[in-house]
Amino acid sequence: MASKALPVNEHNIERVVRVLLGIGLLSLVFIGPKTLWGLIGLVPLATGLIGSCPLYTVLGISTCSMKKS
């Protein structure tokens, strides 16, 4: 059961893209320019793994398909 604080509001494809983007950005910390700017990758990685984007919740956006009840 999803809480109202973190409702699932991301489509599965978007979640995969966010996780891959997060991993790609985090790789900048260890591979390549070795800059701490890659830590920004934690945000898309976390939201992709959780399935909920706090900004989407505030703006009332949802990219996941609605289930018919």
**Helices 12-30 and 42-50, packing angle to 10 deg:** 150
Non-local CB neighbours of 15 within 8 Å, separated by 6+ positions: 48, 49, 51
Q: Are 9 and 63 in contact (CB under 8 A)?
A: yes
pLDDT tens digits, 55-64: 999 999 999 8
Question: What are the tokens at 57?
Answer: 């919740």
Quote the pLDDT of residue 5.
78
Query: 5 or 68, which is more confident?
Result: 5
Quote the pLDDT of residue 22.
97
Confidence check: pLDDT of 19 > 80: yes
Quote the pLDDT of residue 25.
96
